[in-house]
């Protein structure tokens, strides 16, 4: 059994309903139990593509799946919610990213764990710090990765 953390995001459609449905789908999947759920945060779009604001959240799961199986499950749930991959880094109904998988580090085809950019993204770190302040990423506490990042436009909306 492994404790893993996932980042969820949406900036198209009924964003909150999609994130709720995605969490329910993960919890209903065999070999996955959702154990921690952050608040919902509205966050400014980050990256090179102009697009609307996101709702982001993080969850913790206990899983018997392998990292690749958990990644593939997230990708399947994204597709179930109409995710299209038209524009790289563009708007999406649902994004499910594997952030951490126990103490595992791996770098394979399309699967890098810990997520290589998570320590630079306030929209990941703020919800993650809420549910797992004890975690370290790259040997440093999440809160220390947040120092120097702009969190001023990240708004806690409330429970998911």
Enumerate binding residues for ligand X6L (CB under 6 A): 9, 43-48, 54, 56, 89, 95, 123
Smallest distance, ligand X6L to C-beta of residue 54, A: 4
Closest CB to ligand X6L among 78 and 95? 95
Q: Which one of Mg ion, ligand X6L, none interacts with residue 102, CB within 5 to 8 A by kind?
A: none
What ranges make up the beta strands (E) of 11-88?
32-37, 40-43, 54-63
Verify binding: residue 78, Mg ion, rule CB under 5 A.
no
**Of 28, 10, 5, 2, whose CA–CA distance to 100 is shortest?**
5
The answer for residues whose C-beta is within 8 angstroms of residue 25's C-beta and 6 or more apart is 77, 80
Phi and psi for 12 in degrees, rounded to 5?
Answer: -135, 145
Question: Is 92 a catalytic site residue?
Answer: yes
Out of 3, 42, 72, 97, name the contact with Mg ion by CB under 5 A: 97
d(CA 68, CA 97): 12
Q: Which one of ligand X6L, Mg ion, none interacts with residue 46, CB within 5 to 8 A by kind?
A: ligand X6L
Closest CB to ligand X6L among 31 and 45? 45
Q: Where are the alpha helices (DSSP H) in 44-114?
A: 67-80
- Interacting residue ranges for Mg ion, rule: CB under 5 A: 95, 97
Just list the catalytic residues. 83, 92, 95, 97
């Amino acid at each position: 059994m492994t404790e893993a953390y996932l980042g969820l995001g949406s900036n198209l459609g009924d964003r909150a309903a999609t994130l709720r449905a995605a969490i329910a789908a993960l919890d209903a999947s065999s070999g996955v139990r959702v154990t921690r759920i952050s608040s919902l945060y509205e966050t400014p779009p980050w990256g090179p593509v102009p697009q609307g604001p996101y709702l982001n959240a993080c969850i913790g799961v206990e899983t018997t799946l392998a990292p690749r199986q958990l990644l593939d499950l997230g990708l399947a749930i994204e597709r179930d919610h109409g995710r299209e991959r038209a524009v790289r880094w563009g708007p999406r109904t649902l994004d499910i990213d594997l952030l951490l998988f126990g103490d595992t580090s791996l770098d394979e085809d399309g699967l890098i764990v810990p997520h290589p950019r998570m320590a630079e993204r306030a929209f990941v770190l703020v919800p993650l710090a809420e549910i797992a302040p004890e975690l370290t990423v790259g040997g440093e506490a999440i809160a220390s990765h947040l120092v120097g990042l702009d969190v001023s436009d990240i708004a806690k909306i409330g429970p998911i």
